[in-house]
C-alpha cells in the first residue's frame, strides 16, 4: 500500500493539492495509479480541497488522529517549526503518510513542497 500524505495552508484549492501529489509522485518515478489513498491530519479535516482531490482521484482520504500523528512524527524526515507549533508534528504530510501506511511504513523521501501544499509518499512495511 502506498499513501500520499498531504499538508497545507488553510484555504488551498484542489488544483494545488493535485499538483503537489503529481510532483511528489514524479520525484519518485511513480504514476498516480501507484497511490492507494490520501492521508492528512485531523486538524485538516475541514480542508475541502484535500477531500476534493481524493474524489477526483477516486481515492479514500484517511484522517489521521492526533495520537497516531504524534506517534509517527519521530520518523518524519523534514522538520518545520511552523508545523510543529500548529500541528504538533514536524511534518503533517510525512507523519500522516507514515501513520496511514501502518506499522513498519517507510517514507520514499522527504516531503515535496509546492506552494501552499506539501506531499509525502509512504509505503507500507509489508510492501517493502
Q: What is the pLDDT of residue 88?
A: 67
Distance from C-alpha of 37 to C-alpha of 110, rounded to nearest angstrom: 18
Phi and psi at 62, nearest 5°, equal -95, 125
Per-residue confidence (pLDDT) for residue 87, from 0 to 100: 66
The pTM assigned to this predicted structure is 0.91
| CATH (domain of 111) | 3.30.420.180
CA distance 40 to 29: 22
Is the per-residue pLDDT at 128 higher than 50? no
Task: Give the structural domain span for 69.
Answer: 2-127
Q: How buried is residue 88: exposed, middle or buried, by Cβ count under 10 Å (0-12/13-18/19+)?
A: middle
Share of the chain above pLDDT 90, in %: 74
Count structural domains, the chain: 1
Residue 11 scores a pLDDT above 60: yes
**Alpha-carbon span 106 to 73, nearest angstrom:** 12
Averaged pLDDT score across all residues of the chain: 91
Residue 127 has pLDDT above 70, yes or no: no
Amino acid at each position: 500500500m502506498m499513501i500520499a500524505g498531504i499538508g497545507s495552508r488553510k484555504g488551498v484549492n484542489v488544483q494545488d493539492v493535485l499538483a503537489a501529489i503529481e510532483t511528489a509522485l514524479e520525484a519518485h518515478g511513480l504514476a498516480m495509479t501507484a497511490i492507494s489513498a490520501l492521508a492528512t491530519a485531523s486538524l485538516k479535516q475541514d480542508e475541502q480541497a484535500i477531500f476534493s482531490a481524493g474524489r477526483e482521484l477516486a481515492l479514500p482520504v484517511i484522517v489521521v488522529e492526533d495520537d497516531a500523528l504524534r506517534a509517527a512524527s519521530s520518523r518524519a524526515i523534514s522538520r518545520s517549526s511552523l508545523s510543529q507549533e500548529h500541528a504538533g508534528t514536524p511534518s503533517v504530510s510525512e507523519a500522516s503518510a507514515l501513520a496511514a501506511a501502518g506499522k513498519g511504513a517507510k517514507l520514499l523521501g522527504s516531503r515535496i513542497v509546492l506552494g501552499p501544499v506539501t506531499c509525502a509518499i509512504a509505503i507500507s512495511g509489508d510492501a517493502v
